[in-house]
Structures are given as structure tokens and as C-alpha cells.
Homo-oligomer: A and B are copies of this chain.
Amino acid sequence: MSESTTDPRDDTAKPRRRQARGERRIQQLLDAAAHVFCRTGYTSASTNAIAREAGVSPGTLYQFFPNKEAIAVELGERLNRRMTETHGTVLTPENAGLPLGELLDTVLDPMIEFNCANPVFLALIQSSDAPGQLLEEHAELHDSIQDRISELIGLRNPDLSPERRTHTTTMTFALFKAGLTLILGHEGTEREAYAAELKTALYGYLAPVLGTEAVGTRP
């Protein structure tokens, strides 16, 4: 059980020094995996197919990823990181005071844009038979987004009971995901129409709870 590596760093016990070529290959493989996952979902996607899509051999793929799950996990992590940036800059307490219509535009537009540019994100989330670690990743992101939404809702309507706030938050996010699926399922004008329709729906749902006008959030 001697872990006698050259130990330049043993924080992860994997002292593999990547070359620039390797980093490029990893990106190629993740891009290929994104395509294949989008096409067939996680379970039905074969590692050989991912390697073929990336134009490399199966052996090369396993030079960079220990197993199939790790590919999805790494892809998920990168997407989560970028998605977290997006919702972090937009689901802020400062925006809570905006008129509801503007608030929805401000929040939804970047989220929708990100998902249109990265359709594999939704595909991975909706793949029901995903492995354990991927589900944990999603749960984390899910919770962090819902916490932000819940915070916004709480700021706009402090009189809401915790239960109602939770339900409103969860339903809001679920409706958003449904609208997103519809948006990604169309293109061009239709896509924009459904984006507008989603905003209308959320507006109609949230207006009675949060009010439509600008709200001062100072103590």
C-alpha cells in the first residue's frame, strides 16, 4: 500500500502532468460526448461512439477519463460552473426590486441563452438513468438556484409563509425547466415565441404573489 509517487502534489494522489495536446484532446472528447449525450442520452451513449465522434480510439479516451461516468461528471462540472456564473450574476438581491416584467427579462434571458448554446446541459439533467455522482452534481446546482430564487421571492414578499415560499420557488423553477424544454425544441421565430410565452406564464403565476411594480428593498 505504498503510494510512492514523485509527489510534486499529492492532493488528489494523481500526479499526471498533462501536455497541451492532452488538454486539447480532453476538450475534443467533452465536445464529442456532448453531441452524443444530446443525441441518445447518457445510458445509450457508448464510449466507443464518443471516441469515434472525437476521431480518436477507445484507448485514447481512457487515457484521459477513468470511466464513462467520469466523462459525464467532468462535462457536468464545466457546465455547472458556467451556469452558476450565469445565475450568480442575475439572481441577485439587487434585481429583486425591479418591476416583475423587467426582473423576468433580466433573469430569464441569460439562462435561456446559456441553455440554447449548451443543449447538452438539459439533456444530462433530464436523463433519468444517470449515475450517482452526476445526480449529486445536479442536485447541488438545483438547490443553489432554488435558494437564490427563494431569496428573491422572500425579498419581494416577506409575508409569505416558509411553506408557500418553498412551493412557489419549486413550482417556478419547474415551470422554467418546462418552458426551456419547449424553447430548445424549436428554432428561430418559434423559439422566440415560446421564450416570450414562458415569460407570460411566469408573469401570470408570480404577479399575484410578488406584485408587478418596482419594490424598494431597503430596511
Interface residues of A (CB under 8 A from B): 40-41, 43-44, 123, 126-129, 163, 167-168, 170-171, 174-175, 177-179, 181-182, 193-194, 197-198, 200-201, 203-208
- Counting every copy of the chain, the complex holds 2
Task: Please give the distance in Å from A43's CB to the nearest CB on chain B.
Answer: 5
Which of B128, B171, B201, B204 is the one whose CB lies under 8 Å from A41? B128
List 6 A–B pairs whose Cβ atoms lie within 8 Å, in order of A's numbering. Answer: A127-B128, A170-B182, A170-B194, A171-B182, A174-B182, A204-B208
Bound-state CA distance A211–B159 (Å) is 28
CA A38 – CA B120 in complex, angstroms?
24
A197 contacts B168, CB within 8 Å?
yes
A182: which B residues are within 8 A, CB to CB? 170-171, 174
